[in-house]
Chain A
Amino acid sequence: MLGSVGSFIVYALTAVFIQNLPLAGAVPFGMINTYARKPKRLVAVSVMISVFSLLTALTVLPLDYIAPLWSSPVAIRAFLLCAAAVLWYLAASALFSRLHEVDELAEQLPVAALNGTVLAMPLIMDINAISDPLRVCGLAAGSGPGFALAVWLLMCGLRRADNPDIPEALRGTPVMLIYTGLLALGFEAFGHGISLFPA
């Protein structure tokens, strides 16, 4: 039992610090870059991303065993995953609409539920033949904090993105992308080995 908890924590930390999808995998980069400019309720969104990643991954995990569709082209798997994510989003949306005190959180629900991480995490697990439920849960749980870490790192860079020492044409978005590239290089040095493309 203790060993399982330990493994879960190791996999979650791997998803945050070693195989950080937004930076090393460029997965939901548009979302983190937009969010770094208006980091409203970052902690809550990160928790929701972990929950939705976990739910989506666990929804499609049984397909590995029971449905041959899962071994079909990426496009079909992707659509099934998207359908699963949308179903969980609709369910959460219906739940939140009953709880009026969480209206501000409900505003962030589309960002959290229909996020690239939620969709990509199960696909990456499939491409890399990761089917151990403990590992799936650990990586999914770590995806939210990984998102938060990426947003925080981009926020740090954003404060300096209009530095007058930077050539004018590169100020703002271009320099942020170059900064992100350097961050991605650092993460890739740790997390080399995870594949984003089918063999």
Chain B
Amino acid sequence: MKNYRSVDMIFRQKENDPGEAFLNAFFRNPMLVTAAGANLIAGGCITLSNGIIMTLLLLILLPAVGLAASAGKSAGAGRARPGLYALASAGVMLALALVCNAVSRGSADALGVFLPLTALDTLVFVRLVRSAPEMTAAEGLAAGAGTACAFAVLALPIAFIRGLLGGGILLGRYAFEGINALQSPFFGFILCGAAIGIFKKLAMGGEPYREEDED
């Protein structure tokens, strides 16, 4: 049976330089291939402000995790490694959320259950699996930034559309009565699928991700 390229396969590839790591993460990242992180968009990005906060958190968290993973590979902590990294990413999320809440009251809390899920999301977690490549610190940073940028390209338009149609919010103001159901995860999933299809069509000429037979 033919499988689509798995998350593991992507991160097993060795990058050559930070620029290539960034581009590879941007165009062929796990979000586009296996929809890792789609739950954060489908569930959490229900308004543009939620989308912006989520994107900011990932723009800081993903490079930080990439950096930690590149350092942690050599340190080695055996089976405890995923747990320690999960705790560290949760700590980073806590600090970032408190900063966001201090700057704009309740902005991070508005992400609901998707705030903690960011720390344990597959986007973050795949960098910690055993098959993750040995990356240098610069490559780890660049790959994290590339993944976060691809997330932003998808998340922000979707969050805007859901805020507009679902919440009736335009430019931070209630413009009309929206259809609340469109802020539910089902509409997020459908928009996310359509957006990834459009992104792939525009960025890669619609070339499907196909993988050779895998075990």
Report which A residues bind B (CB closer than 8 A): 23-31, 33-34, 37-38, 73-79, 81-83, 85-86, 89-90, 93, 96-97, 106, 109-110, 113-116, 119-120, 123-124, 127, 161-162, 167-182, 184-185, 188, 195-198
Contact = CB atoms under 8 A, between A and B. Distances in A.
A86 B116 contact: no
Nearest to A74: B109
Contacts of B197: 167, 169-170, 174-175
A82 B196 contact: no
Contacts of B37: 30
B contact face: mostly helix, strand, loop, or mixed: helix
A55 to B, nearest CB: 14
Given A27-B113, A75-B98, 11 more contacts: A30-B39, A30-B121, A74-B109, A78-B94, A79-B94, A82-B116, A86-B86, A89-B82, A90-B83, A114-B125, A123-B113
B98 A37 contact: no
Given A75-B108, A127-B113, A82 B120 contact: yes
14 contacts: A26-B39, A33-B35, A38-B6, A73-B101, A73-B109, A74-B109, A75-B93, A76-B94, A110-B83, A182-B186, A184-B42, A184-B186, A195-B112, A198-B109
A174 B143 CA distance: 22
Given A25-B185, A34-B122, A116-B120, A181 B112 contact: no
* Chain B interface bracket (under 10, 10 to 19, 20 to 34, 35 or more): 35 or more
Contacts of A25: 43, 113, 185
A133 B30 CA distance: 38
Given A85-B86, A93-B79, A33 B120 contact: no
B201 interface: yes
